[in-house]
Amino acid sequence: MSVPVFGHVKPMLAISRELVRRGHRVRWLAGAAFRERVEGSGASFCAFEDGFDYSRPDLVPDHLQAERDRLRGLAKLRFDLATFFIGPSEGFCRDLLRLHEQTPADLLVCDSFLMAGSWWAERTGRPWAQLCCTVLTLPSRALAPFGLALQPDDSWRGRIRNQLLRGLTRSVLFRSLRRHADQARQSLALSPCRPWLFDVVSPHLVLSGTVRSFEYPRPDCPPQVVFTGPLLENNDEAFTPPAWWGDLDHATVVHVTQGTISNDSAQLLRPTLEALADEPVLVVACTGRIDEGLEALSPLPANARVASYVPYGALLPKTSLVVTNGGFQGVQAVLSHGIPMVTAGESEDKPEVCARLQRTGASIDLGTAHPAPAAIRAAVRRVLDEPDFRAAANALAREAADAGGALGAADAIEAVLQR
């Protein structure tokens, strides 16, 4: 089961494809927008019935989107948790139980942002694998709660800080969400007061779709955590190159993207095009939008090329630097190619991703979702000119190549089944 958002579906595609290749029967509970991709992996698509399917913009009520657009930072995170994860959790779990009643499952692979996976395991007594489609959200004595984007600190002062912040987030900031989750559990005939969303840890298997060096050091990391490296889609995705594709062969290519969720072009795409208009680079901007949104970037500088979407398997081998708002899956794909980055993100999990990436030495984080063109230009120049950034990115790429990816994830899943 995956969150019905592309960035959460994407890493599961590789796992599904590998499990099917090994002869397993895979049923996938997912959003309607991803039916073709799910079935393309060899899995059987299963639609939500009780769960909130927000896989397409037209499925999200206008008032919800308008309210979300008004929020920033922690307030937006709280809204997202209430609206898209905690609120629909009872319906998600009922869908899982319905499918299990039809044909019992031996094991569930579930997105770590959905409590429904652990609830299903409680109800059925079957094992579940927790797939982290973003940074590890598991609690640690050395880390502040997820969402605060604070650096790790395992000193005695840091442990006190982290413990106080955990109490604050659980009992104050997210108190109403915890109460909502308890009510959902009771309606499912489960006892209340189980761990909060970011405290849930599968006792069987936790798959992290990155490498250990990308994550913060965790002295108390559970032994069932497996770092698979990036879980990437097929590199042979069907693609018709645009007319300007040959221009990339003789240029220093800078790719700018805002992913598929926070993709208001005024935040990063247009400022980057302006910032690099007179630089000796070729800028490839992707809107990541179904409606393309290309007109919002006009007029284009002479050194800019735009598209709604270009497969990374085709684009990244031609790219020298990526400017991104820090979507986790996109960052992992870029790192797998050893490409350094400039990041600028504030919503969802992006501050956590950007903070970890900068700590590796492979990026400069501008610390805002609305960077000024001058700041972007200075950061791009520095990353292109200083070889240490590319060296750090290359080190992560080598670690990713050794991690196993979907093969390693499938091995770990089969080990749980064998036990």
Domain boundaries defined on the chain: 6-229+404-418, 245-402
Predicted local distance difference test score (pLDDT) of residue 289 = 54
d(C-alpha 354, C-alpha 264), whole Å: 19
In tens, the pLDDT along 399-408 reads 999 988 999 9
Beta bridge partners of 15: none
Predicted local distance difference test score (pLDDT) of residue 389 = 95
Residue 275 identity: A
Q: Please report which confidence band the pLDDT of residue 181 belongs to, taking 50, 70 and 90 as the band edges.
A: confident
Superfamily of domain 6-229+404-418: Glycogen Phosphorylase B; (3.40.50.2000)
Predicted local distance difference test score (pLDDT) of residue 264 = 67
Please state the φ and ψ torsions of residue 378, each to the nearest 5 degrees.
Answer: -65, -40
Put residue 273 in one of left, alpha, beta given phi > 0 → left and psi -120 to 50 → alpha. Answer: alpha
Rg of the chain over CA atoms, in angstroms?
21
Question: H or E stretch including 298?
Answer: none
Q: What is the pTM of this model?
A: 0.87
Superfamily of domain 245-402: Glycogen Phosphorylase B; (3.40.50.2000)
Three-state secondary structure call for residue 305: strand
d(C-alpha 250, C-alpha 271), whole Å: 24
**Is 245-402 the same fold as 6-229+404-418?**
yes
Neighbours of 402 (CB within 10 A): 10
In tens, the pLDDT along 13-49 reads 999 999 999 999 999 999 999 999 999 999 999 999 9
The answer to whether the beta carbons of residues 253 and 281 sit under 8 Å apart is yes
DSSP per-residue codes, 98-119: HHHHHS--S-EEEETT-THHHH
Beta bridge partners of 208: 132, 227
Predicted local distance difference test score (pLDDT) of residue 294 = 64
- Read off the pLDDT of each residue in 282-303 and give the average, rounded to a whole number: 73
